Amino acid sequence: MFDHIAQPVSYQHIELPSLVHLDIKRLDLVHPQISGNKFFKLKYNLLVAKQQGLSSILTFGGAYSNHIAATAYAAHLFGLRSIGIIRGEELADKPLNPTLAKAQSLGMHLHFVSRNEYRLREDANYLQQLHHQFPETFIIPEGGTNELAVQGCQEIISQSDLQNYDVICCAVGTGGTISGLIESSGLHQKVLGFSALKGNFLQQEIRQWTKKQNWSVTHAYCCGGYAKTSPELLAFIESFEEQHAVPLEPIYTGKMMFGLFDLIKNNYFSEGTRILAIHSGGLQADIRNKSHQ
Ligand SMILES: *Cc1c(COP(=O)(O)O)cnc(C)c1O
């Protein structure tokens, strides 16, 4: 039910003044609305919700969440109702931003909650309560990461990727995407994650999903935290877009590419290393020129 809506994924070679080889796998082009890694993360979740005969999907996110945008569209496409638990009760009285307006127009019921209530999003009792409030609902965690998401993300790596690359890079939020990449990677390959967030809890999250050890995550390029930016990051994104005609955004893919270029410049990779950078999409809510919440 999902695969037929996917566009064939293309690779883009990036010319570098360096002796490593870099290609970008353009998951941002896999679907115009269910972009990037979210397509793979949602796939089996929606399939299982349908198989279980449930009528709606419920999930969690901030006001600019790519996951909320993708879920609203995917649920709409597959005839499921969707409920978004959105962080920030004050938003209920304000005009909707483009992400939320689009989600609502696709039929998503937006349920704004306080930051305190939002913190309960993994609490078993709270989830039970949501099940009562919204019956016949399949609940997907914030960011979409669960076992079914990791299963879907294993399909990002193709047979030829196993042969053609030594290193696979991706942006990391909740760790679901990188876990799928690690699971499907070859043991001769290294999976390198660039965290969009501050803190070391991600290593543990990832170990929950994979026992393999051919990976690492760096926080060195998170620019101080989630959705934080720096003038260097923004300048890098602008010049990258100009030179290579690949759009990036500053929350995930911009930080990954910024970090990757820095590592390449500092000779982190040996000569001849073949690198595949996963473009995970996320272009629906570019926070640049907006004051972020
Ligand atoms: C959600 C998102 C990520 C993070 O994926 P995780 O599976 O949560 O680590 C990375 N890049 C983009 C563009 C995203 O929208």
Measured torsion, CA atoms of residues 256, 259, 261, 263, in degrees rounded to the nearest 10? -130
Sheet holding 190-195, edge to edge: 11-14, 21-26, 274-279, 167-172, 190-195, 215-218
Q: Is 65 a catalytic residue?
A: yes
Q: What is the pLDDT, as a whole number, of residue 288?
A: 63
CATH 3.40.50.1100 fits 38-140, yes or no: yes
Q: What share of the chain is helix, strand, coil (3-state, %, to 5)?
A: 40, 20, 40
Q: What is the pLDDT, as a whole number, of residue 80?
A: 96
Q: How far is CA 247 from CA 17, 234, 239, in A?
A: 21, 12, 11
Q: Which atom of ligand 1 is nearest to the CA of 174?
A: 8
* CB of 45 shorter than 6 A to ligand 1: no
Considering the chain, tell me which residue range(s) the CATH 3.40.50.1100 domain(s) occupy: 11-32+154-290, 38-140
Contact 159, 183 (CB under 8 A): no
Size of the chain, expressed as the number of residues it contains: 293
Distance from C-alpha of 33 to C-alpha of 72, rounded to nearest angstrom: 9
Q: What is the mean pLDDT of each run of 10 residues along the chain (293 residues)?
A: 85 94 97 93 97 97 95 95 97 95 97 98 97 97 96 97 98 98 98 94 95 97 96 97 96 98 97 98 75 40
Candidate CATH numbers 4.10.95.10, 2.60.40.1930, 3.40.50.1100, 3.40.190.10; the one for domain 11-32+154-290: 3.40.50.1100
Q: What is the pLDDT, as a whole number, of residue 292?
A: 41
* CB of 180 shorter than 6 A to ligand 1: no
* CB of 172 shorter than 6 A to ligand 1: yes
Residue 239 CB neighbour total at 10 angstroms: 10
Q: How far apart are the CA of 54 and the centre of ligand 1, in A? A: 26
Q: Which of 26, 37, 148, 222 to mutate to test the pocket of ligand 1 (most atoms within 8 A of CB)?
A: 37
Q: What is the pLDDT, as a whole number, of residue 200?
A: 83
| Residue of the CA atom closest to atom 13 of ligand 1 | 282
